[in-house]
Amino acid sequence: MSLNYLVIEGNIGAGKTTLAQMISKKYQAKLVLEQFADNPFLPKFYANQDQYSFPLEMAFLAERYNQLNRELSHFDLFSTFTISDYYFMKSLIFAQNTLQPDEYNLYRQFFTIIYDKMPKPDLYVYLHKDTDLLLKNIALRGRNYETYITKEYLEKITQGYFGYFKQQNDIPVLVIDTNGIDFVNKPEDFEKIDNLIFNKQYNKGITRLFL
């Protein structure tokens, strides 16, 4: 598949950043990683979601727009394509699950104005993992502020993604169930995902595959 802009997404702990880094290294692609650690509201949000959800999501919206607009507007002569570990639509999916209805309605107005101007990926890959495996991965990486993440919160985010996919017909969306593989430690599993991404064609809308 001929790609200029590839997105690797997934819930928290799904391995999206790791896979994006592995693909970038293999193909010498330009890598765009979300700068979530720079958001000053993130630790506060996990400790008190009701109070800090709106400033958190607004801060993410601004940062994601600025980063993607900056990175995707400049062609890199030394890279074969651009790969990112998030898509701008992520902002709306997370906000839908964290904001109160009145806050979400206001947030969505800002989001819609910006989203229409953003580049669309040639392929959007979503790594699906069951919630228990997500929690295990989150615990293994040992980020203090992530100890507040609950099973219920992760399940809401997963539902938000799949709700978005059902309505999506503008771009090809490839959902890969990765519960039975370990692409980080098993090269053969990485090659399976690599083959699905680069050696097959996908129509606009959702395609779901199990490995």
**Catalytic amino acids?**
85
Identify the residue whose tokens are 């200029």. Answer: 4
What's CA 36's distance to the chain center, in Å?
12
Closest alpha carbon to 13 in 202, 110, 158: 158
Identify the residue whose tokens are 């570990």. Answer: 85
User: In sequence order, which residues have a C-beta less than 8 Å from that of residue 122 and are 6 or more positions away?
Assistant: 1, 2, 3, 4, 5, 6, 171, 172
- What stretch of H or E contains 203? none
User: In sequence order, which residues have a C-beta less than 8 Å from that of residue 157 and are 6 or more positions away?
Assistant: 11, 12, 93, 94, 97
